[in-house]
């Protein structure tokens, strides 16, 4: 199946991605407006990938997390750094590794 891409970002991110051929771009201004846009992107079956900046994702919490937990496999949502390169100091994936594999290791230790 062929899918389109959407971006939610600052002006630079959206402009750059538009230049690269991304079909839908949204420049973040207000929280409510962006949330609504995100919901629309998530519901749109023609969209396979949504890129949004870490900073905006943070600003959209807690709704953002709820939306992520509630969605299916598609669209894939990927958080990216914005123009300033901002990324949170705690990497979400490392958190997941600690939670899943970290506890797994201690359980094994208890068992044998």
Partner 1 sequence: MATNLTAPPTRMELIKLKRRIDLAQRGHDLLREKMDALVMEFFDVLRRIQDSKRVAIEQLHKAHQALSECFAEIGTIETLESARETIRDARLEISSRHVMGISVPMIEDVEMKRDALARGYGLHTTSSALDESAREFELALKLLIRYAELEASAFAIAKELEKTRRRVNALEYILIPRLERTIKFISMRLDEMERENFTRLKRIKAILEERR
Task: Choose between 33 and 76: whose C-beta lies nearer to partner 1.
Answer: 76
5: contact with partner 1 by CB under 8 A: yes
Of 28-36, 37-45, 57-65, 92-100: span binding partner 1 (CB under 8 A): 92-100
Site for partner 1 in 35-54 (CB under 8 A): 48-49, 51
Cα–Cα distance, 95 to 90 (Å, whole number): 7
In the 8-state DSSP scheme, what is residue 10?
A: -
Name the one range near partner 1 by CB under 8 A: 32-40, 55-63, 78-86. Answer: 78-86
Cβ-based nearer residue to partner 1, 31 or 46: 46
DSSP string, 42-81: HH-TTEEEEEEEHHHHHHTTTHHHHHHHH--S-SEEEEE-
Helices 63-70 and 31-43 pack at an angle, to 10 degrees, of 0
Query: CB–CB of 50/41 below 8 Å?
Result: yes
Can you give the binding site for partner 1, defined by CB under 8 A? 1-5, 11-13, 15-25, 48-49, 51, 73-74, 76, 78, 80-81, 83, 85, 87, 93, 96-97, 99-101, 103-104, 107, 111
């Amino acid at each position: 199946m062929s899918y389109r891409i959407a971006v939610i970002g600052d002006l630079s991110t959206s402009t750059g991605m538009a230049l690269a051929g991304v079909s839908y771009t949204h420049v973040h201004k207000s929280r409510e407006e962006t949330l609504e846009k995100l919901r629309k992107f998530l519901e749109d079956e023609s969209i396979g990938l949504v890129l949004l900046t870490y900073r905006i994702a943070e600003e959209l919490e807690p709704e953002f997390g709820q939306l992520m937990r509630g969605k299916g496999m598609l669209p894939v949502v990927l958080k990216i750094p914005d123009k300033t390169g901002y990324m949170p100091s705690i990497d979400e994936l490392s958190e997941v590794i600690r939670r899943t594999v970290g506890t797994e290791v201690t359980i094994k230790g208890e068992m044998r």
